[in-house]
């Protein structure tokens, strides 16, 4: 007689980027092992790969490759809270006293920080506008594999986030053009347009949470958790 198959509950969440409702299941021991391996690596790329695999396993009606990075981070936190529990106990080292400080994080208190001045529309001139998109997790992974000191990384990130250019009666999708054609177009952009694209990145929604504690000298300090580090701590 074979062992019984355990049915997992199906739940629903709302993606931060699009407000789309998607279905998921809690992660199991199999997925928890994947996360532990990613955590043990202390390698940001391996952590992202582990998070991608777990989220991909648990989503029921959504392709993980379509998710923006902050979507992945948010879904992973929801999975952790609903699959294990919403509390994480961990230690940090105070940078002044070098003491170990024990902190307790309630995942349900972590929220997505949004910026009022965030927009995906950038004016090029009186005729054309750029429309931006969030880089997907797969595009982000490709960029993490490049040398972070290479100035080309920032340029490739700028190109990755451009979806299309539009006027009142014309639309040009970047995916339909070669890299050479894109490079020529980018070379002709004004500094103001580039600043607009940079601001899009600077104000992209992100997971961020501040935790207050008092060190042994009685000084109140703040420990900031942001992005995937809010899970791999």
pLDDT digits (tens, 9 = 90+) for 38-58: 888 878 788 889 999 999 999
Per-residue pLDDT tens digits for 11-37: 999 988 888 999 999 999 999 999 889
Report the pLDDT value the prediction gives residue 219, as an integer from 0 to 100.
93
Query: Which tokens sit at 40?
Result: 């043990």
Average pLDDT of span 137-153: 75
Distance (Å, whole) CA 117 – CA 64: 28
Domain regions of the chain by residue span: 11-113+206-230, 121-202
3-state SS, residue 75: helix
Distance (Å, whole) CA 223 – CA 211: 5
Backbone angles phi, psi at 91, to 5 degrees: -120, 145
Residues 138, 139, 141, 142, CA torsion sign:
positive
Per-residue pLDDT tens digits for 88-141: 888 889 988 999 999 998 888 888 888 999 999 999 999 999 999 998 888 888
Report the pLDDT value the prediction gives residue 225, as an integer from 0 to 100.
85
Number of Cβ atoms within 10 Å of the Cβ of 46: 15
């Amino acid at each position: 007689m074979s062992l019984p198959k355990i049915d997992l509950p199906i739940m629903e969440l709302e993606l931060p980027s699009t407000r789309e409702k998607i279905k998921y299941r809690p992660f199991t021991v199999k997925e928890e092992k994947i996360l532990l391996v990613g955590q043990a690596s202390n390698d940001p790329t391996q952590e992202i790969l582990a998070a991608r695999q777990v989220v991909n396993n648990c989503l029921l009606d959504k392709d993980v490759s379509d998710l923006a990075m902050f979507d992945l981070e948010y879904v992973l936190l929801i999975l952790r809270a609903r699959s294990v529990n919403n509390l994480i106990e961990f230690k940090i080292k105070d940078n002044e006293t070098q003491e170990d400080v024990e902190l307790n994080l309630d995942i349900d208190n972590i929220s997505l920080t949004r910026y009022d001045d965030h927009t995906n529309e950038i004016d090029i001139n009186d005729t054309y506008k750029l429309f931006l998109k969030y880089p997907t997790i797969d595009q982000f992974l490709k960029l993490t594999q490049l040398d972070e000191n290479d100035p080309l990384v920032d340029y490739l990130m700028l190109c990755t986030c451009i979806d299309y250019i539009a006027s009142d009666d014309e639309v040009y999708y970047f995916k339909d053009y070669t890299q050479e054609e894109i490079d020529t177009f980018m070379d002709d952009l004004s500094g103001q347009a580039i600043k607009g694209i940079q601001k899009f990145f600077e104000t992209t929604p992100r997971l961020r949470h501040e935790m207050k504690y008092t060190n042994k000298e009685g000084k109140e300090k703040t420990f900031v958790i942001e992005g995937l580090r809010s899970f791999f701590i």
